[in-house]
Amino acid sequence: MPGGAAQLLTAPYAGGSLFANRSLRASGKVLPEHARSHNRSLVLQTLYTEGAQSRADVARETGLTRVTVSDLVAELIGEGLVVELGQREDARPGKPATLIDVDRTGFHIIGLDLSEHTRFRGAVVDLDGSIVARAEVALDGATGERAYELVAELLDGLLALTQTRVLGVGVGSPGVVDPNGVVRSAPNLGWSGLALQERLAAAFHLPVHVANDANVAALAEHGTTPGDLILVKVGHGVGAGLIVGGRPVLGSGFAAGEIGHVVVGTDGGPRCACGKHGCLEAWLAVPRLTAELARFEGAADAASARDETLREAGRRLGIVLAPVVGALNLSEVVLSGPAELLDGPLLEATAETLRARTMAEQHRDLRLRMTAFGQDIVLRGAAVMVLSGQLGVS
């Protein structure tokens, strides 16, 4: 490898610092106790995802020694988070193992979904994600403080439905929500700067986590599949939640996922409430779709007209998603909303459009599908958020 091929070209020139930027700095100091809480979470999460097993199994899985695992498990048992289940049944050489597991019957989680237009929904969820009880309150146009009171009433009612220790409360709220659970802006509910997380935590003396409804829904989906994904939530409006690199994307102004008012295509479109023409919401929102479909009722070619309306909406969604899927190299796009509208021609048209408008080779493994959680996606996601926040690594 001769050095002659490279030649000195120009005189040195002065630059600034390579990174003046603080955000590349380590987040803060790490003490031994932080390491321990990390390992504690590691044990908990191993138990949660792998199910009942012995301390030795956990040690092998985590890479920690049996000694350390025993110590951590003793601490967790002391707090009631983990329980011993007796000896393993199957016949193997060696001393029989004592099975341990997260106390799956010992805790409930409360999930709240504030994203619907006419009501707040809530549920009691157990640690495995089964919904144990449900409740709801009608909104009746309530806004501001009255809307907050309805949230508190709903939560109060849900807490009365369980006698089990409550791990925490997860809330999916519409609008822009910051990492501290302050609803910066939720026009429909007349909230701006409402410290929802803080107020609920203070009023109920429970851990509370509040996030944007679409982000919460994305958490629910991410729980079931690896890889990066976008969840598109179609309802009265259109919003999205993104998981990139295993983490929810918040955005510089905590407004990530607000794609409802991005203009689609270069050929106009329906007028939107925001004043622009051809916003995604103007094509895809449920009220607009149902109104459009109603126009064809009873007509001769009702079926094909309905089909074409849905396909057009699906194409529009694909047009908006294509740059996002391409730029982020997403592996999964999930739709949430009324299945009778979304699951069919609309979904198919979105898939076709996505395929046609992105580089197919890069996205061969791209999956587009409806959520399997139906209407409960935000409730389930809220539970995931609590589980991850209370038991997981921060």
Nearest residue to 107 via CA among 78, 129, 122, 87: 129
- As measured in angstroms, the least distance from the Cβ of 66 to DNA is 4
| Number of C-beta neighbours around residue 95 at 10 A | 9
- In the complex, least distance from residue 71 CB atom to DNA, rounded to whole angstroms: 6
Question: CA 69: distance to chain centroid?
Answer: 31
Q: Which residue has the tokens 């509370």?
A: 208
Residue from the set 256, 334, 341, 349 that interacts with its own copies by CB under 8 A: 256
Task: Tell me if 291 contacts DNA by CB under 7 A.
Answer: no
* 355 and 8 Cβ atoms separated by less than 8 Å: no
- Residues 190/151, Cβ–Cβ less than 8 Å: no
Under 8 Å between Cβ of 295 and 182: no
Rounded to 5 degrees, φ, ψ at 131 are: -85, 120
Q: Which does 394 bind (CB under 5 to 8 A by kind): DNA, its own copies, none?
A: none
H/E element, 73: helix 66-79
| One of 12, 16, 28, 94 touching DNA (CB under 7 A) | 94
Q: Supply angle C-alpha 251, 257, 262, rounded to 5.
A: 115
Residue 233's SS3 state is: strand
Q: Which of residues 356-385 bind its own copies (CB under 8 A)?
A: 356-359, 362-363, 365, 380, 383-384
Q: Give me the least distance between CB of 64 and DNA, in Å please.
A: 4
Element (H, E) at 281: helix 280-284
Which one among 262, 286, 293, 351 touches its own copies, defined by CB under 8 A?
Answer: 262
- Assess contact for 146 and 190: CB atoms under 8 A: no
Q: Decide which of DNA, its own copies, none touches 266; Cβ closer than 5 to 8 Å per partner kind.
A: its own copies
Q: Which one, 136 or 307, has the nearer CB to its own copies?
A: 136
CA distance 83 to 102: 6
Element (H, E) at 221: helix 213-222
Q: Decide: is 33 part of the binding site for DNA (CB under 7 A).
A: yes
Q: Which is nearer to its own copies, 180 or 290 (CB)?
A: 180
Q: Which does 163 bind (CB under 5 to 8 A by kind): its own copies, DNA, none?
A: none
List the interface residues with its own copies, window 34-93 (CB under 8 A): 34-35, 38-39, 41-42, 45-46, 48-49, 62-64
The residues in 57-86 that bind DNA, with binding defined as CB under 7 A, are 57, 63-68, 70-72, 74
Which of 29-37, 81-89, 290-298, 340-348 is the region at the interface with its own copies (rule: CB under 8 A)?
29-37
* Residue closer to its own copies (CB basis): 2 or 94: 2
**Is 32 near DNA (CB under 7 A)?**
yes
Residue type, 306: R
Count Cβ atoms below 10 Å from residue 48 Cβ, excluding itself: 17
Q: Which stretch binds its own copies (CB under 8 A): 119-127, 289-297, 300-308, 339-347?
A: 119-127
Q: Which stretch binds DNA (CB under 7 A): 49-57, 107-115, 229-237, 300-308?
A: 49-57
Q: Of 21 and 163, which CB lies nearer to its own copies in the complex structure?
A: 21
From the number of C-beta atoms within 10 Å of its C-beta (0-12, 13-18, 19+), residue 25 rates as exposed
Restricting to residues 187-246, name those near DNA by CB under 7 A. Answer: none
CA distance 58 to 71: 12
- Binders of its own copies among residues 168 to 227 (CB under 8 A) are 176, 203, 222-227
Give dist(CA 366, CA 92) in Å, integer: 43
Q: Whose Cβ is closer to its own copies: residue 154's or residue 335's?
A: 154
Restricted to residues 145-164, the positions that interact with its own copies (CB under 8 A) are 149-150, 152-154, 156-161
Query: Of residues 97-116, which lie at the interface with DNA (CB under 7 A)?
Result: 97-98
Joined tokens for residue 145: 């403080």
Three-state SS at 309: helix
Among 259, 289, 341, 347, binds its own copies (CB under 8 A): 259
Query: Could you list the residues that contact DNA (CB under 7 A)?
Result: 29-33, 35-36, 39, 54-57, 63-68, 70-72, 74, 87, 91-98
